[in-house]
Amino acid sequence: MVDRAPEQEILPPHLDAAAHYATRNNTLTPAVVWKLQGDRLRREDGKGPPREVALKDVNAVQLEFAPTRPERNRYRCRITLRNATRLEFYNRTYRGVYDFADTSSDYVKFIQALHTALAQHSPQCRFVAGCSGGAYAFNVAILIGVAAVVVAALAFFLAAGMFWVVLIKILLIVFYMPTAIRWVRRNKPKQYRPGAIPADVLPRLET
């Protein structure tokens, strides 16, 4: 018996839309297309009727630099509705375990179009860059605590003559520290105007 390769999930057709963005968040969610049509935001996944949200019901948009171990350049858009429902998507699409396709160019275009539409149809909408104040302070405190533990561990292993352990830890610090510093710098919470999206919470596009 020959094993069949897993079938690739096909994104639903774009149809006609002023702006659209095709993506898949993770293995537990279907591939979807987000569309802006007039004063509405549509979510289509090809598995039923599209879900529509009136832009006037969007209460807040939060843009954030949200890296993970396998995705060190991940950015997130989180949309909060008046009823507290949250919708979110990223600047990449999930293709398989530890396999992600970068979609930053389309992501940035859609984010800009979304902000333009919200400025017109949802003047009460709040635009937030970075984490919430509490989450930011908590994560910074954890980073400082981890740094203190690492320094103490390095001192201990040096005193014990375990130089190979010290070398491994230094290599890990060199690998992860730039991302940690970027997270702290880019995710300091602040509000912004829809026509002036902070560059820190958008992926940088190659020219």
pLDDT value for 104:
97
CA distance 97 to 71: 12
Identify the pLDDT of residue 173. 64
Strand ranges (E), 24-170:
32-37, 40-44, 51-54, 58-65, 75-81, 86-90, 92-96, 99-102, 126-129
Over range 183-190, report the average pLDDT: 89
**Whole-number Cα distances in Å, 173 to 151, 156, 167, 179:** 10, 16, 10, 10
Residues 55-73 have a mean pLDDT of 94
Q: Which pLDDT band holds residue 181 (cuts at 50, 70, 90)?
A: confident
Mean pLDDT across the chain:
85
- Amino acid letter, residue 151: V
What is the separation of C-alpha 126 from the centre of its chain, rounded to a whole number of angstroms?
18
3-class state of residue 40 by DSSP: strand
Query: What pLDDT is attached to residue 12?
Result: 44
- pLDDT score of 121 more than 80: yes
Mean pLDDT is lowest, of 40-49, 52-61, 144-153, for: 144-153
For residue 160, give Cα distances in angstroms to 42, 146, 152, 154, 169. Answer: 61, 21, 12, 10, 15
Which is it for the CA torsion 33, 37, 40, 46, positive or negative?
Answer: negative
Indicate if the pLDDT at residue 67 is higher than 80.
Answer: yes
Cα distances from 184 to residues 8, 15, 77, 83, 159, in angstroms, run 37, 40, 18, 30, 32
User: Which is higher by pLDDT, 27 or 170?
Assistant: 27
In angstroms, how far apart are the furthest CA atoms of the chain?
Answer: 67
117: Cα within 13 Å, side-chain hemisphere: 24
Task: Return the pLDDT at 174.
Answer: 59
Residue 92 has a CB neighbour count (10 Å cut-off) of 20
Q: Quick one: average pLDDT of 2-18?
A: 43
Q: How sure is the predictor about 1, in pLDDT bands with cuts at 50, 70 and 90?
A: very low
The tokens of 11 are what?
């994104």
Of the two residues 185 and 17, the one the predictor is more confident about is 185
Closest CA to 22 of 8, 34, 37: 34
pLDDT band at 111, cuts 50/70/90?
very high
Using one digit for the tens of pLDDT, what is the confidence trace for 68-105? Answer: 888 999 999 999 999 999 999 999 999 999 899 999 99
pLDDT at residue 155 is higher than 80: no
Match 């999206």 to its residue by tokens.
197
**Nearest alpha carbon to residue 59 among 118, 112, 110, 107:** 118
Question: Which of 63-67, 76-80, 125-129, 173-177 bottoms out in mean pLDDT, i.e. has the lowest?
Answer: 173-177
